[in-house]
Amino acid sequence: MNLNQPITYIKGVSVARAELLYSELGVRTCNDLLHLFPYRYIDKTQFYTINQLHQNSAEVQVVGKIIAIKTVKQKRGSRLVATFADATGQMELVWFKGVKWIKDSLKINVPYVVYGKLNWFNNVANMAHPEMELVSEYKKKLQSAMQPVYPSTEKLSNKGISNKVMRSMMQNLLQQTFEGIQESFSPLFKKDYQLLDKRESLLNIHFPKNQEILAKAQYRLKFEELFFIQLQLLVKKLINKSKIKGFVFENVGEYFNDFYQNHLPFDLTNAQKRVLKEIRKDLGNGAQMNRLLQGDVGSGKTIVGLLVMLLAIDNGFQATLMAPTEILATQHYNGIQELLKDTAINVELLTGSTKTKKRREIHEGLEAGTLHILIGTHAIIEDKVQFKRLGLAIIDEQHRFGVAQRSKLWNKSSEEGVPPHVLVMTATPIPRTLAMSVYGDLDISVIDELPPGRKEVKTVHRYDSHRLGVFKFLKDEIEKGRQVYVVYPLIQESEAMDYKDLMDGYESISREFPLPKYQISIVHGKMKAADKEYEMERFVRGETQIMVATTVIEVGVNVPNASVMVIESSERFGLSQLHQLRGRVGRGADQSYCILLTSFELSSDAKTRLKTMVETSDGFKIAEVDLKLRGPGNIMGTQQSGVLNLKIADIVKDSPILFQARQAAIKLLNDDPSLSSDENSLVLKRLTQLQRTSGIWSNIS
């Protein structure tokens, strides 16, 4: 029987049942059902005699015979009570529902295996609605001492698709398809990585004989799932490098050298130099660069990006930098414009609020080639925007852009068939496990040191009751000439949650820091862009000492004089958001502070987040904790990308298996890049099937 056939081919699965399983669990084919794995197991490795039962509420299994049955009247209806006996004693089996049907089906003095949860009444054990099976039937079955428990829904239970029915379907499926299950690895590969046979693994994941064989089956199936994800990513990377041509940037010319020698405001760190070297190597090998640049807030990614843009210009190309928000795009523009003000390089900004006349000038400059660098938002990928010769596209905080948006940049280069080099930058540190799974087809560079002179931001957690002390501290800092951010999670009051909302907060701060001694800016997402810009500018120029804002300032504002970040209701924020907000301070030479204000009632996850923030400023450590707390699906938008739709593996808990699987995939491709040897024929066959059916191929960055 073919595993791609619908589940109606399985004995006992009607069309109605198949439709229900598809709508509730997404199970359409036999292969889908085979890979619907149990999420726990009931250990039936032990049989108890009745005299061994203790007064607890354990789930136990007993073999015996029914020696008497009676119906007992009660206020509503009646209950059925059977006396169940073995050689050592007696207990009772009780049913409150389906009494007539069950009474007719029970057999007296015939051996049964019964299983259920113990209850005790007057020192006599009883079991309500036990699972029952004749010993003669029990012996015929695919016997598993450990019983699988499958995912279910209320609708499935209501329609009679119980766990027992699921087990029975799975048993029929395995009996009908066992011979058709195809191995994915050669005998030698399985021996090298100590992997169980695939058929044996699937049999023992559903019906394990014992704990030990279950562990081996789980390991084998997790390894295979992660191995083929890594293999697809690595193959894609090889194809990109061998087939997708890229412009060769041979010259390190006048623009780069002049800027590096005369206008660079500080010496590069060793990490920045290393990353630049990695990028230059990519730009000279004739293949398209596809590189992810990770670096914590303030580590100097933008300057690396600028130097790479200058290389593009030295080689006769244009460059673009795309950011997810207007604030961030404007900040990049202002920063780069300032750095290049004494050079002949032409830089422009294009966002949704760019005026029509200005747009026309930008379009003309791009097409004529006189505009060297274009910085902007999504506006850059509009069809009207055409470059004369785009050689480099930099995408900042790329997880905020969809795949389709990113791919539009590929088509902006007018030279047919050759896409621009792509450099993706993120200040959201990505844990290694996630980077390998989601960005495994990109080369990865990490800037892992901060520029010299940067002091670590001191972080403290304070409860609402300490607010007056916090205000006094803010006044002291303002006295020293510093500036302060106060960030709120909400714009309008949420009735369900008693959080300080922005306007309330603004009013209480205005009372505590009155005019004319103190000036306060306010910024939130519902303001017009021009008003937002005006308030930001006042703060940047130092005309206001306090910026009250929502998370619109998470990425963006660069004010070296701001030394305190107060985060209100910080239990409401995720770890990566807290880390990003903290990165808004600590940009100058002064000691900076981050104050996390919360209510007293905190969940255990919130406590872990706050403790992590207080203890470390290492973005990668924070990202690892975040991944453990939130799970991979909610980080970096991977749920939308469909990459991590895993059946059995968990990239957090199974990270050791992920590393082994990736190493195995790398070794295999190093030894046999085209997978053409007989030894790898099974791997190639499985890979080809996956490329046809799995979404990973098109969805990865």
pTM for the model = 0.66
53-143 and 254-283+300-426 in the same fold: no
pLDDT band (50, 70, 90) for residue 638: very low
| Dist CA 11 CA 8 (whole Å) | 8
458-616 is classed CATH 3.40.50.300: yes
Q: Per mean pLDDT, which range of 26-40, 98-112, 204-218, 613-627 is the poorest?
A: 613-627
The answer on pLDDT for 697 being more than 50 is no
CA 625 – CA 89 distance, rounded (Å): 53
Beta strands, E only, 302-404: 318-322, 347-350, 373-376, 390-396
Query: Regarding predicted confidence, which is higher, 123 or 181?
Result: 181
pLDDT digits (tens, 9 = 90+) for 639-648: 434 445 688 8
Q: How many other C-beta atoms can be found within 10 angstroms of the C-beta atom of residue 617?
A: 20
Does the structure show a pLDDT above 90 at 258?
yes
CATH of the domain spanning 254-283+300-426: 3.40.50.300
Cα–Cα distances in angstroms (integers) from residue 325 to residues 351, 431, 447, in the given order: 9, 24, 23
Nearest to 669 by CA among 199, 241, 196: 241
The pLDDT of residue 699 is 40
* Predicted pLDDT at 339: 93
How many of the other CB atoms lie within 10 Å of CB of 188? 9
Residue 616: closest CA among 459, 399, 444, 383: 459
Q: Tens digits of per-residue pLDDT, 541-572?
A: 999 999 998 876 655 567 889 999 999 999 98
Residues 6+ apart with CB under 8 A from 578: 567, 570, 596, 609, 613
Spatial contact of 553 and 584, defined as CB atoms under 8 Å apart:
yes
Q: What is the pLDDT of residue 553?
A: 64
Give the rounded percent of residues in the chain with a pLDDT score beyond 70. 91
pLDDT at 614 over 90: yes
What φ, ψ does residue 259 adopt, rounded to 5°?
-65, -45
Model confidence at 143, pLDDT cuts 50, 70, 90, reads: low
Give start and end residues of each alpha helix (H) in 74-132.
99-105
Fold of 53-143: OB fold (Dihydrolipoamide Acetyltransferase, E2P) (2.40.50)
Mean pLDDT of 596-605: 92
Residue-wise pLDDT tens digits, 265-288: 888 999 999 999 999 999 998 888
Structural domain boundaries in the chain:
1-44+147-179, 53-143, 254-283+300-426, 458-616
CA angle 535, 538, 539 (to 5 degrees): 90
Quick one: pLDDT at residue 700? Answer: 38
Confidence (pLDDT) at 644: 57
What tens digit of pLDDT does each residue of 422-464 get?
A: 998 987 777 777 777 767 777 888 888 877 777 889 999 999 9
